[in-house]
Amino acid sequence: MKTVSSFQTLKNNNEKIAMLTAYDYSTAQVLDKAEVDAILVGDSLAMVVLGHENTYNITIDEMLIFVSAVARGAKNSFIIGDMPFMSYNLSVAQGLENAGKMIKAGANAVKLEGCNDHIINLIKRCTESGIPVLGHLGFTPQLMNALGGHKIQGKTSDKIEAILESAKKLEEAGCFGIVLELMPADSAKYITENLNIPTIGIGAGVNCSGQIVVIDDILGKFTDFTPKFVKKYANLHDDIMKGVLAYKQEVKEGLFPSDKESFELNKEEKEKLFS
């Protein structure tokens, strides 16, 4: 069983941390068998599973359904529940209560985006209450409107120092790691080298302590758009299409179901009906 301390051990041993998102029971079973270092039930599911345009329109109650499905499928994995927009922004009490719901649903930790006084207080209260927290800096989708869109972050030394300052505050508040999203590889390298806790990159180059990607992106299942930082390891959209078309054709031609997929009525009963 992987635990929150596995992250620091992997970093200290110079072993890269391989994380993936998952949102459902059967995918979680695969990730569990593959022994990925951790599974994030990301609010990206608002887009890749529910078809929303961004991550704003998912609630804590919806997230909990997916977290519990993943927890049932991945019994040996470290599972992180992503706190959705406005599930922790109103007050520390609100954030702590919702983080507790994530843990009760089967998560081992939660992820929060950004860094300000409120987030720092919330991280402290979560960690004091036994809820490990993963931070998230750089491009933070829940702050997209304030950031002026989907833009690469940390492009100047001033901005990189500002992200590092936030990262240090998150580390001090008790985060066990920090996701760094969408920034030049050297910016993430500098931030990683100046922290004790591991960084998990997404679109942040190879020098982070580990990587996270959206599983539907790397398996080619989500095809609305493909960010530059995504490498495709499979093409599930085409594989599913092939399967669906073959099924459709066999149904139309009366080839499915064959005897192999059917149940037989005993001979006597059959004669009563058809003779």
Which residues are part of the catalytic machinery? 181
Three-class SS state of 260: helix
Pick the piece of the chain touching ligand KIV (CB under 6 A) from 42-50, 67-75, 123-131, 147-155: 42-50
Q: Which residue has the tokens 């139309």?
A: 252
Q: Which of 80, 214, 218, 219 binds ligand KIV (CB under 6 A)?
A: 214
What gap in Å lies between CA 185 and CA 187, rounded to an integer? 5
Of 71, 68, 98, nearest in space to 85 by CA: 98
Tokens of 137: 């800096």
Q: Which is nearer to ligand KIV, 173 or 202 (CB)?
A: 202
What gap in Å lies between CA 10 and CA 213, rounded to an integer? 18
3-state percent breakdown (helix, strand, coil) of the chain, nearest 5 = 45, 15, 40
Rule CB under 6 A: say whether 170 interacts with ligand KIV.
no
Give the nearest distance from C-beta 215 to ligand KIV in angstroms. Answer: 9
Rule CB under 6 A: say whether 44 interacts with ligand KIV.
yes
Rule CB under 6 A: say whether 142 interacts with ligand KIV.
no
Gyration radius of the chain's alpha carbons: 22
Of 181, 186, 111, 179, nearest in space to 150 by CA: 181
Give the nearest distance from C-beta 58 to ligand KIV in angstroms. Answer: 10
Rule CB under 6 A: say whether 134 interacts with ligand KIV.
no
Phi, psi of 12 (to 5 degrees): -60, -30
Q: Which of 22, 103, 115, 212 binds ligand KIV (CB under 6 A)?
A: 212
Contact characters 2-41, ligand KIV, x per CB under 6 A: -------------------x------------------x-
Contact characters 46-85, ligand KIV, x per CB under 6 A: ------------------------------------x---
Contacts of 197 (CB under 8 A, 6+ apart): 7, 8, 11, 171, 175, 176, 177, 178
Give the nearest distance from C-beta 165 to ligand KIV in angstroms. Answer: 21
Rule CB under 6 A: say whether 201 interacts with ligand KIV.
no
Tokens of 104: 């009760």
Rule CB under 6 A: say whether 137 interacts with ligand KIV.
no
Report the interface residues with ligand KIV, using CB under 6 A: 21, 40, 42-44, 82, 179, 202, 212, 214
